[in-house]
Structure formats: structure tokens, C-alpha cells
Amino acid sequence: MSVETLTYDALGARLNISPVAARSLARRLRLPRSLSDDGKALVSVDLAEIRHTPQPPGRRQAGAVAQLTAKVVALQAEIVQLEAMAAGHRADFERERERAERLVTELLHAAAETTAAREAAARLEGEVAVLRARARTDSSIDKTERRLGQLAATLVESDRKAARG
């Protein structure tokens, strides 16, 4: 058992692997490390105890690349489908938004008409109350009847406007 102090380059050359793989192996095995005078990392290792067989780089990567390429193509197809679905949802959203805007406009118009009708009804009720009071105190029934006829005509006209709108 002879312990040697090697750089990652030297360890990689001895094990027939890259310096990056040698560094990864040293970290994985938790080999003691130190720095040399020139700033390079040195690893203390007993090569007889390390049982490392390097994997051929091309075989494993080719299969992984093919799988990843297939997955990328599948994901791109899914993205296209999702974009088409999103476009359909966007069109539905726009259509519903326009419909809601129309309904809000109609609602505001109906609210304005309702307010106007309530004001007219309040005004007419006030006039009817005045006429009834006059009819009790005043002997001129013709004026009262004429005014009631005008009020009735106003009510009919307001009702027709409400039916048209």
C-alpha cells in the first residue's frame, strides 16, 4: 500500500479518465486534498485500493441524446397544442368580455330609464295628491277632471315609452 500525491491531471492519466472525472472521483471517495506550491490541488491516493473502471463515453451519451431529443420533440409538439388551446381560450375570453360590456351598457341604460320612470311616477303622484286635495276643497270639478285626464295621458305615454325601450 503506497500512498501517492497526485494532481487531478496525473490521477486521470493513471486511471485513464479525464481530469474532471478524476476530481469527481476524488470528491466522491473523499480522498484527502491539499494545495501544491503552484496552486494546483493534490490528492493523496492509494491506487491499489481504488477499483475504478472507466465507462466508454460514446455509448451512454448516444442513447441519452436520442432520448432527450425525442423528449424535446414531444414537448415542442405539446407546446404547439397548448398554444392552439390558449388561442381558443383567448377568443372565448374576448367574446365573453364583449358580451359583458354589452350587458353592462344595457344595464346602465335600464337603470337610467328606471330612475327616470320613478321620478316621473313620484311627480305624477304628487300632482294627483294636489288634485284630490283641490277636489275636496274646490267646487270646480271640471278643472280637476281635465287635469286627471292629462295625468292619465302622461301615464299612458310613459308606459308606452317603457314598453318600447
Task: Write out pLDDT tens, residues 92-110.
Answer: 999 999 999 999 999 999 9
Contact in structure between 43 and 31 (CB atoms under 8 Å):
yes
Contact in structure between 40 and 7 (CB atoms under 8 Å):
yes
Give yes or no for residue 163 having a pLDDT over 80. no
Task: For 28-37, write each residue's pLDDT tens digit.
Answer: 889 888 888 8
Task: For 37-65, write each residue's pLDDT tens digit.
Answer: 888 889 988 887 887 776 666 555 667 88
Is the whole-model pTM more than 0.85? no
CA distances to 55, 56, 61, 64, 70 from 67, in Å: 19, 18, 10, 5, 5
